[in-house]
Amino acid sequence: MVDSQYYLPNDIGISALDCREAFKLLSPKEQMYAHYLSRAAWYGGLVVLIQTSPESANIYVLLQKIFRAQSPQQLEAVATAAGLSAEEYQAFLVYAAGLYANMGNYKSFGDTKFVPNLPKEKFKALVWESQAFKQSPSDMEALWGCCCEPLYSLEDKQKQLGLGEKGITAYFSGNCCLEDAEFAQKFLDSKNLSAYNTRLFKTEIDGKRCYEVRLASAEKDNCAVKGKSEVCFGKYDFEDAVFSVKRGDYAFLMEKVCQNLEKAMTYAANENQKKMLEEYIRSFKCGSVGAHKEGSRYWIKDKGPIVESYIGFIESYRDPFGSRGEFEGFVAVVNKAMSARFAQLVSSAEVLLPELPWPTAFEKDLFLKPDFTSLDVLTFAGSGIPAGINIPNYDDIRQTEGFKNVSLGNVLAVAYATQKDKLTFLEENDKDLYIKWKGPSFEVQVGLHELLGHGSGKLFVQDDKGKFNFDQAAVRNPETGELISSWYKGSETWDSKFSTIASSYEECRAECVGLYLCLNKQVLSIFGHEGEDAEEVVYVNWLNMVRAGLLGLEFYTPESKSWRQAHMQARFVILRVLLEAGEGLVGLKECTGADGRPDAVITLDRSKIHTVGKTAIQRFLCKLQVHKSTADVEGGRALYEGYSAVTADGTYNFLRLRETILLRKEARKMFVQANTYVKDDAVELVEYEGSAAGLIQSFIERFQDDAEEVETQLLEMTCMDSSCWC
């Protein structure tokens, strides 16, 4: 039996990434811009196959050929004829979906390999029975021959990504080890070459070490590039070795990326976008990271665009040496309807802020809207989709020119709204309500959290000249009634004073503002919720918070008694506060699940939210604000760390509950993304169902026009690599 960590479970969560509302509200020009950027992203995303493992591209082509000839539905009968059980066929579909979603046969989170959860003979039988095989048996047999071995192999070295003996990588030829990586880095540094868009291949000629540095570019020739090219090609003697710097890695895909970026330029919204694309094109044409940096500079200047994007060799987690970037491309769009609701919330700040449970003196003199953008992802090509982005990664640009921080709304929403059978720790009827109202209540909570949460509350400051921003003789601590005796002095800030707990404490304050203000009818009305529906939104928002507090235990490490995630710690703290409120507001029981293993159920008495619940949050929120406003680190720490403590000796055994949470933790979800097509000068959005079959179908239809060519080119690209490995 294969260790379950090395295959994807048949019931793995697969959800459609919904961006219909946001996309429909774009102007035709914005839709065109988004479409061509998406096309560029999807072609570029295929690079990840080649970056991940030597066999990924072969497996991808094998699957594409099978499914282009027969849809997952049509193939089902074939599978039965080939002797596969329903479970085995499902395992085959899940494997294919996993390969597409991760753009390779290693998980994008955790970097471990996954293999099909059905016997190799069954997989082979299905290939042989398929229509694709009947159409071209020799091609399919050759393809199977290329990848059947590594597809299933779980030798120690194969189990994870890594360099040398430690694992598999395609950023380096198989004969490279850490020493080669370090040596090459020295060479690259000496030539002022960035490793971001490169791979390294080693050979030995007459006993001499020869390294080939391959730069990703559409152009293959090594002629000098016109203009401000900083890339040096050619052969160099370096210490006792020879380096040759060559262009043209993934040339076919880079060319496709450039063609689509060029088309997108026609529909750009402003000069910054145009220049940004121009530089990206130069980067992908010539293999210049410098040009990509230039593009990123324009990208930062393009503030708050309706269609946001980023594309290139970005994150370096998966290069075992940590300096080569994995390709990614995304297109995300402003949800204009949601933005309008958020804008209304901001314009109501004047009447809503006084509702918060602290004295007027503790509120800012002037409300400033926090810098917050929520976008819906239309396209995210690469190995996986994050819930937020904080780029560029170029340190020199981040320091001097800044970066963008964006929350990806529809990704976050999917991460919470699960299928009913995956909804842990809730009672049956709560599960139905949760699924129905999670989306709307999540939007209310996000809006309140980001805008009125992080945007509210004043810090009392005495500046360098001794001037106070508050009336020392009048502002009193609402709890003790005494004049306040502490404040921020000179250059002291919230982060510098509260250091280690600052971020989680602040997230907790913002979450509490969300819980507290969602009880307000005016707020609910801004989001379009009235009457009974509004009450459901409130109930599910609070229910989600207490459940999230429980799930948060996953991010606590008992050994070091520390929390690893600010938001999850904040939610656990809130759960503790609400449990402490008593009177049956929150119920938390440990039990045994239907499977005989430990389980837990959390409940919320909806009749007590507006009374017991509201009072508890009101008091706690006020304390949080007073400690924050008055720079009272000691008091703030005692309060926050007290509630953050994960203990086994109180009314609840949180350490044991943590074990249960880990036991029932859901596997990371996969996302099904839409496709866009241009038809009669308009862009059409085609969506797919959230299932393995839907995910597969989306990839089959993604490269409709040039599928054959893409596949042939992918095979050629990996073939070229393996000739080097021999």
Query: Residues of 611-627 as b/e, b for ≥16 C-beta within 10 angstroms?
Result: ebbbebbbebbbbbbbb
DSSP 499: H
CB of 372 to Zn ion, least distance (A): 9
CB of 415 to Zn ion, least distance (A): 15
Q: Which is nearer to Zn ion, 193 or 510 (CB)?
A: 510
- The residue (of 279 and 450) whose beta carbon lies closer to Zn ion is 450
Q: Cα(46)–Cα(199) distance, rounded to whole angstroms?
A: 16
Nearer of residues 30 and 506 to Zn ion, judged by Cβ: 506
3-state SS of the chain: helix, strand, coil percent to 5? 50, 15, 35
Answer positive or negative: Cα dihedral of 109, 110, 113, 116: negative
For Zn ion, the binding residues (CB under 5 A) are: 507, 510
Q: Minimum distance between the CB of residue 549 and Zn ion, rounded to whole angstroms? A: 16
The distance of closest approach from Cβ of residue 385 to Zn ion in the complex, given in angstroms and rounded to an integer, is 20
* 406 or 510: CB nearest Zn ion: 510
Closest distance to Zn ion from the beta carbon of 514 (Å): 9
**Cα 531 to the center of its chain, rounded Å:** 35
DSSP state of 53: -
Residues present in the chain in total: 726
Separation CA 207–CA 240 (nearest Å) = 11
Residue closer to Zn ion (CB basis): 219 or 507: 507
Q: Which of 30, 308, 328, 450 is an active site residue?
A: 450
Which CB, 319 or 507, lies closer to Zn ion?
A: 507
To Zn ion, the closest distance from the beta carbon of 407 in angstroms equals: 9
The residue (of 83 and 388) whose beta carbon lies closer to Zn ion is 388
Q: Closest by alpha carbon to 483, among 469, 467, 470, 498?
A: 470
402: left (phi over 0), alpha (psi -120 to 50) or beta: left
Bridge partners of residue 161, in order along the sequence? 168
552 in helix, strand or coil?
Answer: helix
Q: Which residues pair with 236 in a beta bridge?
A: 243
Tell me how far apart the 2 most distant CA atoms of the chain are, in Å: 89
**Pairwise CA distance, residues 620 & 639, whole Å:** 9
Shortest reach from residue 149's CB to Zn ion, in Å: 48
Nearest distance, CB of residue 506 and Zn ion, angstroms:
7
Q: Which is nearer to Zn ion, 507 or 711 (CB)?
A: 507
Q: Scanning the structure block, which residue is given the tokens 């994960």?
A: 646
| DSSP line for 535-602 | HHHHHHHHHHHHHHHHHGGGGEETTTTEES-HHHHHHHHHHHHHHHT-TTSEEEEEEE-TTSSEEEEE
Q: Is 450 a catalytic residue?
A: yes
Let me know the angle formed at the C-alpha of 475 by 470 and 478, rounded to the nearest 5 degrees: 140
Cβ(261)–Cβ(36) under 8 Å? yes
Please provide the distance, in angstroms rounded to a whole number, between the alpha carbons at the two ends of the chain: 32
Annotated catalytic sites, by residue?
Answer: 450
